[in-house]
Copies of this chain bind each other. A is one copy, B any other.
Amino acid sequence: MSDLAIELKTDTGKCMYQQIYEYIRNEIRTGKLQRDEKLPSTRSLAEYLQVARSTVDSAYSQLLAEGYIQSKPCRGYFVCGMEELVDLSQPFSLPEERGSRKAAASDIRKEEKLIENEIEYDFSPHAISMKNFPFSTWKRITREILVDANSEMFALGDARGDYELRATICRYLHSARGVNCEPEQIIIGAGNDYLLMLLEKILGRHVPIAMENPTYKRAYRVFQSFAYEIEALPMDKNGISVKALEQSNARVAYIMPSHQYPTGVVMPIGRRMELLKWAEQKEDRYLIEDDYDSEFRYKGKPIPALQASDRAGKVIYIGTFSKSIAPAIRVGYMVLPMPLMEKYRQSCGFYASTVSRIDQRILNEFIKDGYFERYLNKMRKIYREKHDFLLEQLKDLERDFVLSGENAGLHVLLTSKKKIPEKDLIRSAAAKKIRIYGLSDAMVGVPCENEKYENTILLGYGALSGEEISRGVGLLKEAWKEYLT
């Protein structure tokens, strides 16, 4: 089958696998590839396109994962019918019940025309730049560690992670974030989802948990998968409403005080103290502080973590190297307050560590030898430049939009003063091959009254160059012409 005449472009910066995946996905969505149609084998398509077979494998794998195609043993890959399609690429719409499959498929049909065939500039708030990562240093450290690698390093280490790395993280958290802890309180795990899974074991089942609304949907979905009773509480300009928290059933609150996702709110000390006070009122109340992107702050002094103000052992601090190093590092850490250490030991202290000792050792050297700090400083500078440049580009949009969430993190927010619906903003941007993100994506539970969330979009800039930011914003202005005064 040679009629998958995919034109691979080398100048878009989009990798081959992505181009193949998007091409086939669109062919299926638009009905050009029909149900039960057989796709070419990965080998023949790879030969035809003159790419590595693994590239085609990856594209097919993605299509399989998202349910566009299926594989039949010994026969090959086949297109799924539309009624079989469940759009798993929409990260936040888990089908709640089997009946929703058809609805999802018809949604896809409806949105077909909205779906950008080719996105040129993606303002994803989750993307980071790896261009300046000191790969050569990382490789050198790896090499050096492997030279010394012996059977001991291939043995199973401490369940919480190797002591040395915990001590290094402990020192880093103390100096960079003011976190007070001992290495014993730190648990290293393969990513935030896993750390939250441990936390489920520690906190127990049926925990009523409060979240800021809007919030980080990934954490929301993880708590949903625990069947936790989630109370999505409104926010004001200082963060989560403590009044609402007090009126709720929640005994745990998941918050992002340093730079709330997605609103960018930095919680002032007063609100922090109120939250700590709330937690101190009952023995089993805790605050989960997700300090996901605290490394990046561009104005004023760094703001210490909430954990730094915790005197009563109420804050569970969670951090990650996903933003500050790379998502694929798969190393996050959790600092448990002393009162939870015994529960940890009893409920899941025996679960084997999820991070290999070699990876732990590499990361430890990278931090200990100062490379992490140097890289952070560099990235802070680079992100600040991007940030400042973006704000500059957005200046004349401020007649019609309110800018917020700036000064930290890797995204800003634009709220339409004219109350142009978020959907219209996104759709017209997509027509110009620009991908932007709606704030309402991050809303959970019952829709909040605050209607600003319906007219707000997020612009992430972490992975974009100055050139791309400039061109992207230029196109955005063209796209929004009719909405501007």
Contact at B61–A328, with CB atoms within 8 Å?
A: no
The proximity string for A residues 358-369 relative to B, scoring 1 for CB distances below 8 Å and 0 otherwise, is 110000000000
Contact at A351–B193, with CB atoms within 8 Å?
A: yes
Does A133 interact with chain B (Cβ within 8 Å)?
yes
Does A221 interact with chain B (Cβ within 8 Å)?
yes
Contact at B328–A182, with CB atoms within 8 Å?
A: no
Which residues of chain B come closer than 8 Å to A51, judged between CB atoms?
none
- Given known A-B contacts A57-B167, A194-B194, A359-B356, A133 and B158 have beta carbons under 8 A apart: no
Q: In the bound complex, what is the Cα–Cα distance between A368 and B163 (angstroms)?
A: 34
Q: How many copies does the complex hold?
A: 2
Nearest CB of B to A93, in Å:
11
The proximity string for A residues 252-293 relative to B, scoring 1 for CB distances below 8 Å and 0 otherwise, is 000000000000000000000000000000000000000000
Does A152 interact with chain B (Cβ within 8 Å)?
yes
Contact at B225–A201, with CB atoms within 8 Å?
A: yes
Count of residues in A whose CB is under 8 Å from the partner chain = 82
The proximity string for A residues 147-167 relative to B, scoring 1 for CB distances below 8 Å and 0 otherwise, is 101111111111110111001
Q: In the bound complex, what is the Cα–Cα distance between A225 and B159 (angstroms)?
A: 15
The proximity string for A residues 11-32 relative to B, scoring 1 for CB distances below 8 Å and 0 otherwise, is 0000100000000000000000
Q: In the bound complex, what is the Cα–Cα distance between A157 and B95 (angstroms)?
A: 22
Which residues of chain B come closer than 8 Å to A184, judged between CB atoms?
61, 64-65, 71
Stretch at the interface among A117-125, A341-349, A423-431, A467-475: A341-349
Contact at B151–A71, with CB atoms within 8 Å?
A: no
- Given known A-B contacts A133-B154, A346-B95, A358 and B146 have beta carbons under 8 A apart: no
Contact at B155–A350, with CB atoms within 8 Å?
A: no
Stretch at the interface among A135-143, A380-388, A441-449: A135-143
Does A357 interact with chain B (Cβ within 8 Å)?
yes
Contact at A65–B157, with CB atoms within 8 Å?
A: no
Does A91 interact with chain B (Cβ within 8 Å)?
yes
Q: Return the contact of A154 from the options B191, B227, B329 (Cβ within 8 A).
A: B329
Nearest CB of B to A475, in Å:
24
- Given known A-B contacts A65-B160, A184-B64, A225-B201, A94 and B330 have beta carbons under 8 A apart: no
Nearest CB of B to A54, in Å:
6
Q: In the bound complex, what is the Cα–Cα distance between A131 and B152 (angstroms)?
A: 11
Nearest CB of B to A426, in Å:
22
- Given known A-B contacts A61-B158, A94-B346, A182-B73, A146 and B139 have beta carbons under 8 A apart: yes
Q: In the bound complex, what is the Cα–Cα distance between A146 and B144 (angstroms)?
A: 13
Q: Identify which of A153, A157, A330 gathers the most chain B CB atoms within 10 Å of its CB.
A: A330
Nearest CB of B to A106, in Å:
19
Nearest CB of B to A484, in Å:
35
Nearest CB of B to A52, in Å:
10
Q: In the bound complex, what is the Cα–Cα distance between A346 and B95 (angstroms)?
A: 7
Q: Identify which of A149, A155, A328, A355 gathers the most chain B CB atoms within 10 Å of its CB.
A: A328
Contact at A149–B135, with CB atoms within 8 Å?
A: yes
Nearest CB of B to A397, in Å:
30
Does A130 interact with chain B (Cβ within 8 Å)?
yes
Q: In the bound complex, what is the Cα–Cα distance between A91 and B221 (angstroms)?
A: 33
Contact at B348–A225, with CB atoms within 8 Å?
A: yes
What are 9 inter-chain pairs, A to B, with CB distance below 8 A?
A65-B184, A131-B151, A138-B146, A190-B190, A190-B353, A190-B354, A193-B351, A197-B197, A225-B348
Name the 7 nearest CB pairs between A and B, nearest first: A61-B163, A190-B354, A130-B151, A154-B326, A156-B327, A139-B146, A193-B351
